[in-house]
């Protein structure tokens, strides 16, 4: 069984909506167990438990909100050097198109690289003009079917890499997927 | 007279459309002279001439297209250390939402910082859910009024900083603008 | 009189040492007034007061320490949209070469761009193999003469841009500097 | 057998020196086959062949040299969407401390994420004040034992992840390594 943690921090509910869809996507992958948790309910044990992590936060000044940074600066610090090699991706809700969500996703991933995570985005277009190359970066909350599909796909991809690499389940490699990858 | 260069590289015409709007915005600012030029027609003299630069390119792998990088690696190299302190901003067209345009804008600005440029985005929301904090980053070409306004506003802001700081025209500071900054 | 704020957050004293040198550099520029302040003693009034800002923090996970992010997320929030057009640069002390200080400097600058700052690095080499293209990024504290010179030069450059653009002091443009820019 | 490609572009020989050490490090890992190739001798077949990639380039304007960008823009383009899930890391030689090598490493990794690579750095300190959290970023060429060890360690880590995840060789996980990870 591959273990996936979807950790999110949300103030307005936008990022929480995204997180729920990411978790739903991950659960579609064979043999994956998912924990969906707000930051405030997470402990280091959750990070130690997981094989893959989807980390979500709203975009604050194109960067990680301080509460999220505090948690990773402090709660995980003692495990530094002992959690290398887990898989991770990111998602962020921004105030508007061009508002810094891509930069926030990369900021989250950069922080996780420091802990030794293997980080990724997805090459897929889930619909015309909708992709998630560095994670899901979108204005407001997921409103359209395409925006919801972005979140689902991120969870699916995380599940696929964990199922393929950690569980050794060849059938779960994205190349064997039945969904359209380039809508 | 403040001088502004809008340099763009375009393959499909999307970035060119953006560039034309950026130039149109800059021309609205009092006392600003604008050169709108595709990369292929630019020379180092254009960079030396300008006080402010808006640099636009399509998003290729979330990063600067090689032709644009080649030009700045080679054509400008001999002027390195002699063009410090000019103002600069960026714009990019991406294949889809989340496709890397913000990262490309930051990549362009990072490259320009190496030449000593003072780089910026705009705090303004030009319409609900539309901003340009790190330059204009948008999927495809500017289709809606809000997306066109993003490009215009980038040119206006560049014009304003050049008019205010280079020409010493106090009336051109954004705080004195008559347009809505937070649509 | 151009006003410069050197704001720093320091735990081990490394970033404080850097900050003191940055402030010392800025004070060398004609007509510049400098406030050197630890984060805990800063208020929004300091940001409103300054024309130029040098912001320094240790590298925590290649990113902004949470206390610094908290301050800028909260203390400055109400002034968003009213502090555009100030000049800013960054400095960071990292745990080791390759430890994320350049990324932290860019993270600090990205955050400041969101508030409308005009951000920059310096093209100068202050000694062989020592530059500050994206701010001062160095392992530990400034130990060698070259490392100290990096910090001084950052302050000087900030002072120069403020003196030139805000005070209108032509003589302060870096092109008229008497120090060697390409050691 | 896990396959590793060390692709490098070098003008002065600095990056080539780094590449040779990275390849040497990868070869130390059980069951790993290494191809060490300059960009000019690489073809798409090499990318398709490899399970893991170490990509090296000099820092040009804190960003990817145009020849490297051209190669990845053009030679690999047709394989986009078919090479997802390989492992990748980066290394770069810069003109001086603070010269943009960390940003170049992240630029290379961002480009590779667009192709679906799983990217990483290493948590290890190989000596006091020497780490490689985002790849190896160093001024000039590897001169000291510690700088050489950075390059070796990058290759070792890439080899370890490929051996562990692709070959399923549990003994190759870094947690079982005999070298000191936190010198």
pLDDT value for D180? 80
Say yes or no for a CB contact (<8 Å) between A73 and C60: yes
- Which of D21, D17, D84 shows the shortest CA–CA distance to D48? D84
User: What's the whole-number mean pLDDT along residues D146-162?
Assistant: 98
Average pLDDT, chain B: 96
Q: Chain C within 8 Å of B72 (Cβ-Cβ)?
A: no
- Per the structure block, which two tokens stand in for C108? 């600090």
Report the percent of chain A where pLDDT is more than 70: 99
**pLDDT over threshold 90, residue B108:** yes
Q: How confident is the model at residue A183 (pLDDT cuts 50, 70, 90)?
A: low
- Residue D73 has its nearest CB partner, among B61, B72, B115, at B61
Judged by a CB distance cut-off of 8 A, whether residue A95 touches chain B is yes
Give per-residue burial for D103-116: e unless 16+ CB within 10 Å, then b: bbbbbbbbbbbbbb
- Mean pLDDT (chain A) is 96
pLDDT digits (tens, 9 = 90+) for B7-18: 999 999 999 999
Residues of A in contact with B150 (CB under 8 A): 97-98
Q: Give mean pLDDT, residues A17-26.
A: 98
pLDDT for C26 beyond 90 = yes
pLDDT of residue B183: 56
Alpha helices in chain D (DSSP H): 14-27, 44-49, 66-74, 101-114, 145-161
What is the tens place of the pLDDT at every residue in B116-160?
999 999 999 999 999 999 999 999 999 999 999 999 999 999 999
- The total number of residues shown for chain B amounts to 183
Residue D85 forms contact with C (CB below 8 Å)? no
pLDDT band at D183 (very low <50, low <70, confident <90, very high): low
Query: Which residues from chain D sit within 8 angstroms of residue C119, using beta carbons?
Result: none
- pLDDT tens-digit series, residues C125-178: 999 999 999 999 999 999 999 999 999 999 999 999 999 999 999 999 999 998
Other CB atoms within 10 Å distance of the CB of residue D100:
29
In this prediction, residue D181 has a pLDDT band, given cuts at 50, 70 and 90, of confident
**Beta-strand relationship, D87-94 and A87-94:** unpaired
**Inter-residue contact D40 to D10 (CB < 8 Å):** no
Distance CA D83, CA A37 (A): 32
Q: Are C116 and C87 in contact (CB under 8 A)?
A: no
Tell me the average pLDDT across C27-33: 96
Closest C-alpha to B103, from A137, A113, D77: A137
Selecting from C103, C129, C140 the residue whose C-beta is nearest the C-beta of D134 gives: C103
For the residues C99-117, what does the mean pLDDT come to?
A: 98
B79-98 pLDDT, tens digit per residue, is 999 999 999 999 999 999 99
Q: Which helix (H) or strand (E) holds A46?
A: helix A44-49
For chain C, give the percent of residues with pLDDT over 70: 99
> Each residue of C70-103: pLDDT tens digit?
999 999 999 999 999 999 999 999 999 999 999 9
Q: Is the pLDDT of residue B35 over 90?
A: yes
Give the C-alpha separation, D134 to D131, whole Å: 9
Mean pLDDT across the stretch D129-142? 97
Tell me which residues of chain B, numbers 108 to 137, contact chain D at a CB-CB cutoff of 8 Å: 110-111, 113-115
> Quick one: angle between helices D101-114 and A101-114, nearest 10?
110
Roughly what angle, to the nearest 10 degrees, separates helices D101-114 and D66-74?
10
Size of interface A-D (CB pairs under 8 A): 77
- D40: DSSP letter: G
- Which of A12, A22, A60, A102 should be substituted to probe chain B, the one whose Cβ sees the most B Cβ atoms within 10 Å? A102
Q: How many residues are recorded in chain D? A: 183
**pLDDT confidence of residue A180:** 80
Inspect the interface and report whether the beta carbons of B115 and C122 lie closer than 8 Å: no
Kindly report, residue by residue over A133-150, the tens digit of the pLDDT: 999 999 999 999 999 999
* pLDDT category of residue C180 using cuts at 50, 70 and 90: confident
CA–CA distance, D132 with D48 (Å, rounded to integer)? 26
What is the complex's ipTM, to 2 decimals? 0.97
Query: B36 pLDDT band (50/70/90 cuts)?
Result: very high
Tell me what pLDDT residue C183 has: 57
- CB pair distance less than 8 Å for D98 and C138: yes
pLDDT given for residue A179 in this prediction: 87
Burial A170-182 (b: 16+ CB within 10 A, else e): eebebeebeeebe
From A28's Cα to the closest Cα of chain C, the distance in A is: 32
Q: Phi and psi of B130, rounded to 5°?
A: -135, 115
Give me the total of CB pairs closer than 8 Å, taking one residue from chain A and one from chain B: 83
B2 to chain D, any CB pair closer than 8 A? The answer is no
Q: Which of A2, A76, A87, A113 to mutate to test the interface with D (most CBs of D within 10 A)?
A: A113
Q: Measured between alpha carbons, how far is A52 from A5 in angstroms, rounded to an integer? A: 6
**Band of the pLDDT at C1, cuts 50, 70, 90?**
confident
Residue range A68-94: average pLDDT? Answer: 97
Nearest to D127 by CA among D98, D156, D160, D150: D150
- Collapsed DSSP state (helix, strand, coil) of residue D30: coil
Minimum distance, in Å, between the CA of residue A37 and any CA atom of chain B: 24
Query: Residue by residue, what is the 3-state secondary structure of C52-111?
Result: EEEEEEECECCECCHHHHHHHHHCCHHHCCCCCCCEEEEEEEECCECCCHHHHHHHHHHH
- Whether residue A96 and residue B150 make contact (CB cut-off 8 A), yes or no, is no
Interchain CB distance below 8 Å, B114 and D107:
no
């Amino acid at each position: 069984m591959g273990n996936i943690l979807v950790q999110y921090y949300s103030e307005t509910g936008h990022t929480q909506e995204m997180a729920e869809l990411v978790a739903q996507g991950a659960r579609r992958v064979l043999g994956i167990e998912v924990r969906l948790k707000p930051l405030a309910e997470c402990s280091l044990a959750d990070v130690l438990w997981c094989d893959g992590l989807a980390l979500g936060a709203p975009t604050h000044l194109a960067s990680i909100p301080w509460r999220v940074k505090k948690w990773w600066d402090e709660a995980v610090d003692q495990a530094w050097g002992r959690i290398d090699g887990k898989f991770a991706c990111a998602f962020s809700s921004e105030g508007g198109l061009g508002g810094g969500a891509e930069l926030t996703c990369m900021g989250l991933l950069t922080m996780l690289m420091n802990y030794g995570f293997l980080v990724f985005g997805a090459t897929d277009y889930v619909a015309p003009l909708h992709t998630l190359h560095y994670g899901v970066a979108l204005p407001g909350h997921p409103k359209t079917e395409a925006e919801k599909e972005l979140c689902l796909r991120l969870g699916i991809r995380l599940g696929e890499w964990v199922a393929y690499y950690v569980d050794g389940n060849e059938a779960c490699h994205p190349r064997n997927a039945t969904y359209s990858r380039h809508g």
